[in-house]
Every structure is written in structure tokens, then in C-alpha cells.
Structure 1
């Protein structure tokens, strides 16, 4: 496993440097309030509907999900030497969609079909930007 591709998660940090100030000058004082985080799109109150997500994920891209599961009921099963199936109950949020788009070369949404359609539409929209001559 050590010779294979690895994705590293934040929880693997082994060293850090402590700064003198409790909050650096570049961090606004109200940045970490719930209202501020929601306005920044970091929280999605009221939009979270749970879905049963099923993904087909390439083996090496799936490694970090063993350490940082998508949910407490996540299950990973082996499809073959290249692919894994990941199933989990998750909140259907814009953040989830953004993550799925970022994983589009390494994974495919199998279910729910509505989410698969949304991801496909976002990918096609992005492809159109690259197809224009401007």
C-alpha cells in the first residue's frame, strides 16, 4: 500500500507552528459566526436533504474515504482491481456537488439518478467553456 498513490487528510498533520496572536490580523473578527459562515456559503441550513449516495470510485481515489468516511453508515465494496463502490447516507448540498464535480475524473455517481443528472449538467457546462474559441 505504501508504494501506491496516497491522498493525505488534514488529520495526518504531525507538526504545527503556534503564532503569538490568538487570531491573525488577516482573519476578520466576525468570520466564524454562524451568520457569516452561512453568507459565505460554508453552511447550508434548511437545504440539507438526506440521500442514499452510491459512487463508483477508482481504487486509489477511494483510499482517503477509509480514514475520512462520508457518513457513519458508509460502505465500501470491491468491484474489481480498479474500482470500488461507495455507498453512504449524506446531505445533498452544493458542497457535495462541488466535491463530486472535482472527483469527476475518478468517480461516477451511480445513485440517485437526479444527482447524477445535476453533476453531468455541470460537467457539460464546464466543457462548453473550453470548446468556445474566445
Structure 2
């Protein structure tokens, strides 16, 4: 099979770089080199540097030469490279995906999608002149028609130190050991080496599920308590017995240990009405009492979160009983 001409290879590389140069923040040649490598495009960093020098002289791309490594970004009002055939519905999907996946996908993977996200935002941007198609206008209105609402008191997300999420997600994605400077809830700070196994978002917080070096049990570390993170060059074999779904089902994010119990409690009808519509478990049983109360029985995972939830009802919940599945009552 004949090789593609060097000219075509150069054009394709230029297109990939133009797509990945962001607006509003700077990116370096080494960062673009990593993105292209992750996408399966092998080019030397020097080649990318030469291409960036050429592109910044022909397009509305700012080259920050105040310090090395140089940073590149599209000027604020520049027309960035458009992603072809991106329909209004595809633009809407990308816009929603960017918002909800930004903490759950590897940071570099999200960065490699910058060109698509930027074009999606532009496609659904302001249309004060009314020139867009009806489909575009309807897609633009959709984000204002839907909302994910909180099930408890809303909290602002804790601040995660710069670079931590990127290093953690990179190590998790590539199965590499992770070196952390971690400060626990009691304020104790120490350096640890961990095997990253999973990333979970719980409300406004992000948690890293990992194993400490020389240990075979899992722990959850709050990302905002990681002061510094560095992905190692050393890889590990991911434990075949670990399952993030099972870890969650066992109530580990609710400070449980996977112990299932048969829970029984009485609750006022008004306070517990929602449990008829959204039961605690598939085997939940509701017994109505004549005094304005009902008795709930369900098989659930025992955890501190369960206790907090029950205490949240105050005097509207009474007679709480737990029986483990081996019939020993707690």
C-alpha cells in the first residue's frame, strides 16, 4: 500500500493541532504532543513545535513567549477550526456531556475533545439576529428546559489543588502507581504511594478508590485533601477481583462494609409517603397502621449513611431495628 505524501501528513497534523488549541487558556507543545500520542498520532515534540510556529503566524493564534515552554491559544474572537457535520442535536449532546463528564473522564481525554466542545458551544451560542435554523434554536433552548436538582442541602464543591485531578486521572487511566501528598480529615499529612482503582463523584465531592502500597484492601481518598499528586512511570496489573460497582453496592462510599441487614422502622405517613414511590429495596414491605404511621421493612446495606438518613427524620421515625442476614439482631 503506498504511503501518503509528506504534504498530506503535514496538513493532517496541522488540522489536528488547530482542533486542539483551546480558547481562553494556553496549551504547550508538550501537552499537545501527549494529546496526539494518546490519540495514536506519533510525531516528535520538535515537529509539533515547528508546526505551532507556522500556525501562529497564519492563524489568529496567540503565542505567549514570556516564559518557556511557550503557550498557545486562539484569540478570543477568532474563528477556530470548525468540526464538520456537527448537527444541532450533536452539539447539544456534546455540551451536556462536557458538563456532566468533566470530572469523570481522564483530564487529557477531556482536553483532547476541546475542539469539539468549543465548536458545540459556538453552534449553540447566542443568535440575537435570529439567523439560526429552527432546529438550532430549539437545541439552544433545551439546557434551560432541564435541570438536575439536589436531593439534599446543596453544597459548593471543595477546591481541588491545581494539577491533582489531571495526575490522578492519568494514573488511573494508564494503570500507573500514584505518589500522593495527602492530608486526612484530622489534618495529618503524609506521603503515600497508591494503586488507583476508581474515581467516584458523590454530590459535590470526588473520591479516589485505591490500594496503599503493600496492602490488599481498598480505601477512598477525597481528592480535595490531596495536596500534590504525581503519576509514576511504573505500571501495575489491575486486581481482577476488584469491582467498582460492587464496592459501591457494598455501601463503601456510605462508610459501610457490605453487611446487609433486614431493616425495620416505623415512620409517620406524611414523612414516609415518598418511600411508597421510591422504595429502599426491591423486597420492601409496607404495613399501614391506623394511627397515622406505617411500618417499613427492607433489606439494605448497613452503613453510617443509613444511620444519618434515619436520624434526619427526627421524631417522625421510631422503633428502628436491624437484623443481619445470619439472624443476629443488631
User: Is the TM-score greater than 0.5?
Assistant: yes
Matches within 5 A, 1:1-134: 20=95, 22-23=98-99, 29=165, 33-34=199-200, 35-36=207-208, 38-40=220-222, 43-44=253-254, 47-112=257-322
TM-score normalized by the length of structure 2:
0.25
Q: CA deviation at 1:19?
A: 9.8
Root-mean-square deviation over aligned CA pairs: 3.8
Q: Secondary structure at the residue paired with 1:73?
A: coil
Unaligned runs of 5+ in 2: 1-92, 104-156, 170-197, 201-206, 210-219, 223-250, 325-329
Q: CA deviation at 1:20?
A: 4.3
Q: Which structure: larger Rg?
A: 2
Q: 1:101 to 1:59 in 2, by over 3 A?
A: same
Select between 100-109 and 39-48 the one with higher mean Cα deviation: 39-48
Displaced runs of 4 or more, over 4 A: 18-21, 24-32
Deviations 1:77-124 (Å, cap 9, x if unpaired)?
11114100000011001110110110122111431289xxx9xxxxxx
Q: Secondary structure at the residue paired with 2:314?
A: coil
Partner residue, 2:106: none
Q: CA deviation at 1:74?
A: 0.3
Q: Distance in 1 between matches of 2:256 and 2:316?
A: 30
Q: Distance in 1 between matches of 2:317 and 2:256?
A: 28
Which structure carries more relative contact order (alpha carbon 8 Å, separation 6+)?
1
Question: Aligned pairs, how many?
Answer: 98
Q: Secondary structure at the residue paired with 1:97?
A: helix
Q: 1:98 to 1:106 in 2, by over 3 A?
A: same
